[in-house]
């Protein structure tokens, strides 16, 4: 796959300034849940780095890592739209029953699917 960025090269400076203004505006005008919004940015950056790193590796593990990166992307989108859900999930809502709690099962599934690195 040969990607060409010449189509948007003339807009590079405008985009960089726009993203900087957007980021500063979010910090000034959307002060609620800044930590959650920062987490969404970190998740999106991690997903980008993971997908870019796995791009050239011909392996089935590339698909697993790329799939996990897409889970990060969907989580970031969900948290950016509804940031109060993370607060409720951490401790603001009553704890779910142990059998219906998906966190341990998700961790167990990830541990079984992805072997230890090394």
For position 3, what pLDDT does the model report? Answer: 63
Query: Pick the residue with more confidence: 31 or 28?
Result: 28
CB-CB contact of 47 with 73 (8 Å): yes
68: its two tokens? 């996990």
CB-CB contact of 43 with 76 (8 Å): yes
Tell me the per-residue pLDDT of 86-110, one tens digit each, with 9 for 90 and over: 877 777 666 556 566 677 777 777 7
For position 1, what pLDDT does the model report? Answer: 54
Tell me the per-residue pLDDT of 38-92, one tens digit each, with 9 for 90 and over: 889 899 999 999 988 888 888 888 888 899 999 999 999 998 888 888 877 777 6
Long-range contact pairs involving 63-69 (C-beta distance under 8 Å, separation at least 24): 64/113, 64/114, 68/110
Query: Pick the residue with more confidence: 44 or 112?
Result: 44
Query: Pick the residue with more confidence: 108 or 13?
Result: 13
Torsion region of 38: left, alpha or beta (phi above 0 gives left; psi -120 to 50 gives alpha): alpha
For position 43, what pLDDT does the model report? Answer: 92
Q: List for the chain the helix, strand, coil content (%; round to 5).
A: 75, 0, 25
Distance CA 44, CA 24 (A): 18
Band of residue 115 on the pLDDT scale cut at 50, 70, 90: low
For position 57, what pLDDT does the model report? Answer: 83
Domain boundaries, the chain: 9-92
């Amino acid at each position: 796959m040969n990607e060409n960025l010449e189509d948007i090269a003339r807009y590079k400076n405008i985009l960089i300034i726009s993203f900087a203004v957007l980021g500063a505006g979010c910090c000034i005008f959307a002060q609620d849940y800044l930590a959650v919004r920062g987490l969404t940015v970190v998740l999106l950056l991690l997903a980008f780095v993971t997908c870019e790193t796995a791009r050239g590796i011909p392996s089935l593990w590339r698909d697993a890592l790329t799939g996990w990166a897409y889970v990060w992307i969907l989580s970031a989108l969900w948290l950016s739209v509804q940031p109060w859900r993370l607060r409720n999930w951490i401790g603001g809502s009553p704890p779910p029953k142990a059998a219906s709690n998906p966190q341990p099962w998700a961790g167990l599934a990830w541990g079984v699917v992805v072997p230890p690195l090394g």
